[in-house]
Amino acid sequence: MSRVVVTGTGLVCSLGRERRAVLEALLAGKSGVREVGRPGIARAAPVADFDAAREAGPTKNLKYMSRASALAVAAARLAVKDAALPDLGDELGAYVGLGMTSSELGDLEKLVHVSKDENGKISSRLVGEKGLRATNPLISFKILSNMPLCHVALATKARGPNVALHSVGGETFSALAEAVSELREGRVKAALFGAVDSQLERAGAEQIGRSGVLAEGDGPGRVLGEGAAFCVLEREEDARARGARPLGVIERVTFSLAPEAVTLEPANSLWLIHAMEQLGEGIEPAAVFSCAAGDEAGDKADELLLRYRAPVTRTRLLLGETLAAGPAIDLVLAIAALEKNEGTSAPVLIVASSLSGTVSVALVGAPP
C-alpha cells in the first residue's frame, strides 16, 4: 500500500503564516488572543493583518467571498506554492472541512425585517419576494455552505473530486481520511486537504455562544479564533518522481462519529484510548497537539494525553476555538514539529474533538 506524504502546507492564523514561526511562537507561550471590541465579542483571536485583495484576490472575486472563503483561498495557495505542485487538472482533488455558515448581521437583519408576515413570523414567500431583494444580491455566494470549497478549487485548479465536509472540530479529520483513501486507491494523483472556520461576525459568535463552548467571561481557551490550513498530499512515489520532498507521512487517521456510544469517563472503556491503541501499540510520540473542543469532553481528552511523556501543545489556548479549522491547523504544526525534530523517527500525535462529541486522532510520521 502506497504511503501518503505531505509535500506542502499553507497556514493562516492569528499568529502568522509561516508554520515554523507559528510553532515557535506557540512553544514560547505567545497568544493570538487580543481585545477586539466587536459587538458581542470582547476578546478573540482573529487572523492578523489579513489583506484579502493581496492574499485571496483578484479584487473582483472578493465580492463573491465570505471571510472564510478568502482565508481558505489564501491558505490553499500557500500550500500549493510550498509543494511546487504543477497543474494536475482533474487529477487534483480537494477535501475540505468547513465550519458553520456565517454572515454579517446587517445583511440578515435587512432580510428578516422585510420577510415577516402580519403575525410577525418569517414567511418563505416573503423571503423570496422581498427578503433577498433587500440584501446584497451576492449574499448567497457568501453564505452557501460549500462556497469556500468552490473558491479553493477555482483558485488552485483542483478539477478532480471536490468534497465538502461540514465540521465543528473533530469531524474535519474524516475529510483527511477520505483524501488518503482516494490517493491510495489511485483516484487522484494529489489531494488538497484542509479546513477553514471564521465565526467572528456577531451572528456566528452568538450561535457558537449558545452551544456552551465559550465559558462565561471568555476565560483562557474559551474565546473564538479563526483560521485556515491546507496540506498537499501525494503518494510517495509520485512525489519523488517529480522531485518533491516529503515533509511527513500520514500514518493513521481514526475517528468516532457515534458520540452517543462514546464515554470519556476514566472508569469506562475509553474510546480515545481505543483509538490510540488502533494507531499502534507502544507508540511514544515526539510531540502531541490537541485542539479538543473547550467543553467537558474536550477537557477530559486533554487529561488523557498526560499518559505520554511528550510535550502537549493545546492550540486552542493560544489560537482560540478555531472549530473546523483546528485539526488542519494542528496537522500543519505537526509538520513543523517534525522539521524541528529532524533526525528522530518518533511520530507526532494529533487529537481533536468537537462540540458534537466526535473525537478523532491522527498520527503523522517523520519523512522517509
Q: What is the DSSP string of 233-263?
A: EEEHHHHHHTTPPP-EEEEEEEEE--GGG--
CA angle 58, 85, 363 (to 5 degrees): 110
Q: Do domains 4-104+139-241 and 248-365 have the same CATH topology?
A: yes
pTM above 0.85, yes or no: yes
CB 279 within 8 A of CB 285: no
Beta bridge partners of 314: 290
Name the pLDDT band for 268 (thresholds 50, 70, 90): very low
Amino acid, single-letter form, for residue 267: A
Residue with the bigger pLDDT between 280 and 354: it is 354
Give the per-residue pLDDT at 267: 32
Give the per-residue pLDDT at 71: 96
Give the per-residue pLDDT at 83: 98
Q: pLDDT > 90: what percent of the chain?
A: 51
Q: For residues 354 and 358, what is the distance between their CA atoms, to the nearest angstrom?
A: 5
Domain residue limits, the chain = 4-104+139-241, 105-134, 248-365
pLDDT for 278 beyond 70: no
Segment 341-359 shows an average pLDDT of 83
Q: For residues 254 and 11, what is the distance between their CA atoms, to the nearest angstrom?
A: 23
CATH class of 4-104+139-241: alpha beta
pLDDT for 264 beyond 50: no
pLDDT for 59 beyond 50: yes
Give the per-residue pLDDT at 261: 40
**Lowest pLDDT segment from 94-103, 131-140, 143-152:** 131-140
Give the per-residue pLDDT at 64: 86
**CATH superfamily of the domain spanning 248-365:** Thiolase/Chalcone synthase (3.40.47.10)
- pLDDT per residue over 106-118, tens digit each? 667 777 888 999 8
Among 75-79, 128-132, 263-267, 288-292, name the most confident range: 75-79
